[in-house]
Structure 1
Amino acid sequence: MNNATPFFPGFHRLLFGRARCSAQAQLADQARALEKATLCQLGQVCAPWVPARLLQPAPSGAHSRRRFFPQGLTFWAFLSQVLSPESPCRETVRKVQAWYALRRQPRPGSGTAAYCRARSRLCLQTLLGIHRHTAHELQRRVAQDQLWCGRRVKVVDGTGVSMPDTPQNQKAFPQPSNQKKGCGFPVAKIVGCFCLASGALLHWAEGNKHVHESKLFRKLFAFLLPGDVILADRGFCSYAAIAILLRAGVDTVMRLHQARPRDLRKGCRLGPNDRLVTWLKPKSRPRGCLAADWRQVPATLTLRLVHVPFQAPGFRAQSLVVATTLTDPIRYPPQEIAKLYLRRWAVELFFRDIKIALGMDVLRCQTPAMVRKEIAMHAIAYNLVRGLMQQAAALYHVPLERISFKGSVDTLRQWADAINATHAQPRQQARLFNHLLQILAENTVPLRPDRSEPRVRKRRPKAFPLMSRPRHDYSLASPSRKGLK
């Protein structure tokens, strides 16, 4: 019998009551309420940057069951861990338990196994989709006056990260050969592509120590768009890479490789310290370049060499040579190319923000699959913080590069709870969010161009010896163990 009427839909529930919910349905309702009220404090601030459709429960598969840790709750909990590098899984579980107890609901167990399994169920493609959305939003909000000569500049560089010493990680990312077995850590190489105007991490490729950074760089070619300008150091300056990118409509500005002659007396003179030269195609195909791509590489390349002088405080005047495919000296004056290459150092600061401020320098996951998800979560967290910095810079007319990234991370962590507490008061929440952006704009770093401060540590480390053999050898050789035998 259909008790609903066309005039009062659902009126029958007042007369006949609601259907009794199963224990599983009640658990799902509690999890959804918890997801909205607790660990999604970051969601109140970062929700516009994260597509909600990607975190919805799936009709079937791993995320279709009703659990204490649904997909959305797990994502925001994982994100909070990345923003707090010292936060272990146990702390996240304790937070969930506290809020379940506060709402007088059955709390989950004290172990971290359920939360760790929930993290492993997160799909890497879902995380990559969220990252692509954040990168697209950051690029979309770049103003026209922030472009270089009307072009989008993407800066590329490589770095390395270490991870826990487990058999799975060692197999996928072997440790350096100069470290003893059981005394080292697996190492992964990462080549990242950043937007120079917004600082967003657009794409990255990871590999082990046997893969050269130039080969990882080729994996990023598919994500570049015609009209882009690639800014990189001399490690990426090769004939094949420049030719393939130029064929795709992508220009390059790179420091001349040390194996290439830098005699500016040859070639067509465009101006002082500015020449057009012709490179010949190498006779042998470079390792890592596909045969099909190599056949399409032209026999010659016309490049422009620009001599860039620079002066570091306390040192002699030095110079370098930049090779570029931007051959028009009227549209791209040599002074502008020199200034652009000197901005390449920004990518070192971008990687420093991810590795030091967010703790990606030493990953914590035990398997290669989770390591890749952890890298993706660091990329998402980095772009979310960059998005807030971009909003603050545009609203309060502050240069984006002057806003402190570490200060922005600290401010976001502390203000997320206050903004989440006003989720039922939109005006109050908007006022608090504007205060958050104002604080970000006020937390600027000093303008110190050409600063030279070597990385040294003042505080001495503890006088513990370095590990010279596997850890289990130490425990077997301890006096207490000998006494038990």
Structure 2
Amino acid sequence: MGAQSVISREVVVAAGAFAPGHLGELTRIVPFEMVDEALAQTGRVQARVRDLPSRVVVYLLLAGCLFPGLGWRQVWKRMTAGLDGLPVADPTGGALAQARKRVGAEPLRWLFDLLRGPAAGIRTTGAWWRGLMVCAIDGTTIAVPDSPANLTEYTKHRCNNGGSGYPALRLLVLVSCGTRTVLDAVFGPTADGETTYAPRLLRSLHKGMIVLLDRNFAAQTLVSTIAATGAHVLVRVKSGRHLPVLRRNRDGSYLSRLGTVAVRVIDCEITIATAAGHRTGLYRLVTTLTDHRTHPAAELIRLYHERWEIETAYLEIKSTILGGRVLRARTPAGLDQEIHALLVAYQVLRLAMADATGTRPEIDPDRASFTIALNTARDLVIQAAGVIAGTAIDLVGTIGRRVLADLMPNRRIRTRPRVVKRAISKYNAKGTVDRTSYKATISIDILTTPDP
């Protein structure tokens, strides 16, 4: 017989019926005491401790977001896979469904309200600009199950082929651009537009922030209400929108008014050149930062590019975590619970990544791989590893070490044509699509708008 290797490891989890309740190493960010407080504050603590205590159910809901392609029984198997030798329950699918319904959405909503916010101590380029925290607001849609209960609140999108296969909800998020952590979020039926939901995010805006917005949010009422919070705005508006020239600045911008708000307007022409050719677009940006000496126009134009960080955050949630899948819950109450669990799971992953890159100030958080963090977190749930921290404080952890060991390269300017990747009909021919990502150079010219 050849030589053998034996690996033994120590697993430390909660005792008794609470043992399956964990999120691997991410439990350190959402510890037992935090979950217990969420349950106590929302009145969801179990009356008697049986096979599925409420704390365990909360961790089940969070773990379900890390394994969205599995049924709830299989999620349970992942949570208990590392607990060999411990007497753990083997609940039926029906028992797990009843437990999730018993806990409800309130504890997950409480956890999200506690955990949402910027990662502490991160002051890298992109996270802050001239003393202002750089944030962005935008919306997306997520498909939900086509059940009779969901259809009472969520509708299917209209399209050229007679309607989408699934109803959808609209999610609107306020993101810190530097770390892509979630500062706040709201969601609801798609019957209401993004500008209807946006005012519900104002509670999280304050002095010392700059909010980046696309053209859909350029309503003067919304800009006015954001400005009233003390936060500054940088929003793109239609190039033909009439904004009177009140005074010209040396950097090419000019002062104007958007409703009752004093703003500064920057007109520019941006050219993107690649080996395949070049294209030029006209941009008009409006900001409440009216002093051109302290906040130069050229820097604001470059800063606006950070708005795309929120698009990357949505990609991480919808593609990397969910894998393009439809959500599980078949009732509006279940969707409320699932969305808040998904936001908490995403946030704790982002906080773990920020803790790791925060130990290396020279590293831009953009270089941390979300996919590596997610897959490592999944592994640690299966292993039940790192659930309870040791006596020595480890700020980086296994997730952080794997992220730091395999950093992505510094971001380079690249571009590729925007195309419909999934046509409504498979018979709708799109011709030959160039899917090459080209290295690009960008040139910016600030334009002087003629006086009316």
Measured against the shorter chain, the TM-score band is: 0.7 to 0.9
Structure 1 position 272, deviation (Å): 4.0
Q: Does 1:198 align with 2:166?
A: no
Q: Pick from 247, 251, 256 the counterpart of residue 268 of structure 1.
A: 247
Kindly tell me: are residues 333 and 186 of structure 1, through their superposed partners in 2, closer, same or farther at Cα, counting changes over 3 Å?
same
Q: Per the alignment, in what secondary structure is the counterpart of residue 210 of structure 1?
A: coil
Q: Per the alignment, in what secondary structure is the counterpart of residue 203 of structure 2?
A: helix
Query: Which residue of 2 is the match for residue 67 of structure 1?
Result: 50
CA contact (8 A) 1:307 1:321 kept: yes
Bigger helix fraction: 1
Structure 1 position 309, deviation (Å): 3.5
TM-score, normalisation: structure 2: 0.79
Partner Cα separation in structure 1 for residue 387 and residue 62 of structure 2: 21
Query: Which residue of 2 is the match for residue 307 of structure 1?
Result: 267
Structure 1 position 165, deviation (Å): 0.5
Q: Does 1:391 align with 2:352?
A: no
Amino acid at match of 1:84: F
Partner Cα separation in structure 1 for residue 334 and residue 239 of structure 2: 38
CA contact (8 A) 1:38 1:99 kept: no
Partner Cα separation in structure 2 for residue 414 and residue 400 of structure 1: 22
Amino acid at match of 1:420: A
Partner Cα separation in structure 1 for residue 36 and residue 192 of structure 2: 36
Aligned length: 409
Q: Per the alignment, in what secondary structure is the counterpart of residue 172 of structure 1?
A: coil
Structure 1 position 391, deviation (Å): 1.1
**411-420 or 169-178: bigger deviation:** 411-420
Query: Which residue of 2 is the match for residue 447 of structure 1?
Result: 410
User: Which sections of structure 1, spanning at least 5 residues, go unmatched?
Assistant: 1-29, 282-299, 467-485
Partner Cα separation in structure 2 for residue 424 and residue 340 of structure 1: 39
Q: Deviations over 1:102-132 (max 9, x none)?
A: 4356x434x2111122122224232122112
Q: Deviations over 1:43-83 (max 9, x none)?
A: 54434698244255689766223231112111112211211
Partner Cα separation in structure 1 for residue 190 and residue 64 of structure 2: 27
Bigger strand fraction: 2
Kindly tell me: are residues 163 and 82 of structure 1, through their superposed partners in 2, closer, same or farther at Cα, counting changes over 3 Å?
same
Q: Deviations over 1:406-448 (max 9, x none)?
A: 1111122224555726858545x949x5454222112222334
Q: Pick from 246, 263, 284 the counterpart of residue 321 of structure 1.
A: 284
Query: Which residue of 2 is the match for residue 33 of structure 1?
Result: 16
**175-184 or 140-149: bigger deviation:** 175-184
TM-score, normalisation: structure 1: 0.74
Partner Cα separation in structure 2 for residue 337 and residue 39 of structure 1: 44
Query: Which residue of 2 is the match for residue 221 of structure 1?
Result: 202
CA contact (8 A) 1:156 1:232 kept: yes
Output aligned runs, 1:239-258, within 5 Å. 239-257=220-238
Q: Which has the larger radius of gyration?
A: 1
Kindly tell me: are residues 457 and 269 of structure 1, through their superposed partners in 2, closer, same or farther at Cα, counting changes over 3 Å?
closer
Q: Does 1:46 align with 2:29?
A: yes
Q: Pick from 368, 386, 394 the counterpart of residue 332 of structure 2.
A: 368
Partner Cα separation in structure 2 for residue 327 and residue 182 of structure 1: 45
Partner Cα separation in structure 2 for residue 352 and residue 214 of structure 1: 21
CA contact (8 A) 2:79 2:384 kept: no
Partner Cα separation in structure 2 for residue 272 and residue 100 of structure 1: 64
Partner Cα separation in structure 2 for residue 257 and residue 123 of structure 1: 44
Partner Cα separation in structure 2 for residue 81 and residue 400 of structure 1: 26
Q: Pick from 267, 272, 278 the counterpart of residue 257 of structure 2.
A: 278
More contact order relative to length (CA 8 Å, sep ≥ 6): 2
Structure 1 position 100, deviation (Å): 8.2
Q: Per the alignment, in what secondary structure is the counterpart of residue 306 of structure 2?
A: helix
Output aligned runs, 1:344-359, within 5 Å. 344-359=307-322
Partner Cα separation in structure 1 for residue 173 and residue 213 of structure 2: 11
CA contact (8 A) 1:175 1:187 kept: yes
Partner Cα separation in structure 1 for residue 185 and residue 217 of structure 2: 15
Structure 1 position 271, deviation (Å): 2.0
Kindly tell me: are residues 419 and 400 of structure 1, through their superposed partners in 2, closer, same or farther at Cα, counting changes over 3 Å?
farther
User: Which sections of structure 2, spanning at least 5 residues, go unmatched?
Assistant: 1-12, 429-452
Structure 1 position 450, deviation (Å): 3.0
Q: Does 1:406 align with 2:406?
A: no
Kindly tell me: are residues 81 and 254 of structure 1, through their superposed partners in 2, closer, same or farther at Cα, counting changes over 3 Å?
same
CA contact (8 A) 2:153 2:332 kept: yes
Partner Cα separation in structure 2 for residue 387 and residue 104 of structure 1: 33
Q: Deviations over 1:243-273 (max 9, x none)?
A: 122223222110013561378xx33110243
Query: Which residue of 1 is the match for residue 441 of structure 2?
Result: none
